[in-house]
Amino acid sequence: LSGDPLASFRAARADPSLAVIEGFHALKHALRFGAEIVDAVTCDPDGLAGLAARLAPDVAVAIATLARPVVSTSMPGSVLAIARRPAVDLPKLMSRGEAPMVFLERPTQLGNLGAVVRVAAAAGAAGVLTTGVHDPWHPHAIRGSAGLHFAVPVARVDALAPCERPLIAVHPEGERLSVGKLPSDAILAFGTERDGLSSELLARASARVAIPMRPGVSSLNLATAVAVALYVGGGLLHSERPDRSRASGTR
Ligand SMILES: C[S@@+](CC[C@H](N)C(=O)[O-])C[C@H]1O[C@@H](n2cnc3c(N)ncnc32)[C@H](O)[C@@H]1O
């Protein structure tokens, strides 16, 4: 093979119609949730096949078929892939549904953003919308979500448009969060890591809910707050939804 085997992967980072997937776990989830893979390369075909056989037998054949061997010392992990970003139907997402939507106002940390997508996908949220300068499909965010961007709609918007869903501000100064009491079709809004929610968003929200904390603790990590709101406020821990703890199988 001649030339730079990773040049097309670097170019794909700047293409808003594509997503760059770094690492085995991210590719595993991407395939499991129907990602359309455009290209994939590996610098360790045997190691990758072993991982897939052990941790993801359901997609092992797909991974072996897709990943072209390349010689590279600069790959982040044993496998790299390019996928098409799934289209997001914003009007449908904003209309009333049966699952809550997560809204992140100007998140600053791509790892946090990915961790939010991961928990939103696990909890069955309707989608994750963000504002601000960061592309929620940045490769570091996809790594942070372990590829679960393909399991839940994820998009960046200029601003949160008014919609029928009730807007709930999840904010350290609010009414104490109660188990299962958040409306199932709410937009749950979370603020930026340092400054929290903007005064505009707080003024628009129909309610403010707080996750109780011991005195002296100023706030929870963003993704942790999203997890508590979805699982506790959304009552998921008490629901009869089928889940992996009952259906054994893939990892
Ligand atoms: C790291 S916190 C921001 C902290 C910021 N200094 C503040 O006071 O809002 C990021 C976001 O996580 C959510 N959050 C963190 N801890 C929370 C809590 N105890 N109750 C409700 N929301 C919380 C909020 O949405 C917050 O804007």
> From start to end of the chain, where are the E strands?
18-22, 37-42, 67-69, 79-84, 101-104, 127-130, 154-156, 167-176, 187-190, 207-210
Of 9, 20, 35, 6, the closest CA to residue 143 belongs to: 20
**∠ at Cα 85 (79, 87), nearest 5°?**
160
> How far apart are the CA of 85 and the centre of ligand 1, in A?
30
Q: Which of 106, 119, 188, 219 to mutate to test the pocket of ligand 1 (most atoms within 8 A of CB)?
A: 219
Sign of CA dihedral 242, 246, 250, 251: positive
Please tell me the residue having the least CA distance from ligand 1 atom 5: 196
**∠ at Cα 110 (171, 102), nearest 5°?**
40
Strands 79-84 and 18-22: antiparallel
- Tens place of pLDDT for every residue, the chain, 251 residues? 457 888 899 899 999 999 999 999 999 999 999 999 999 999 999 999 999 999 999 999 999 999 999 988 888 788 999 999 999 999 999 998 889 999 999 999 999 999 999 999 999 999 999 999 999 999 999 999 999 999 999 999 999 999 999 999 999 999 999 999 999 999 999 999 999 999 999 999 999 999 999 999 999 999 999 999 999 998 776 665 556 554 445 66
> How far apart are the CA of 176 and the centre of ligand 1, in A?
13
> How far apart are the CA of 145 and the centre of ligand 1, in A?
20
Longest alpha-carbon distance in the chain: 62
Q: Which residues does ligand 1 sit against, CB inside 6 Å?
A: 170-172, 190-191, 193, 195-197, 210-211, 213, 219-220, 222, 225
Angle between helices 45-55 and 24-32 (to 10 degrees): 50
> How far apart are the CA of 103 and the centre of ligand 1, in A?
13
Residue type, 49: A
* pTM of the complete model: 0.93
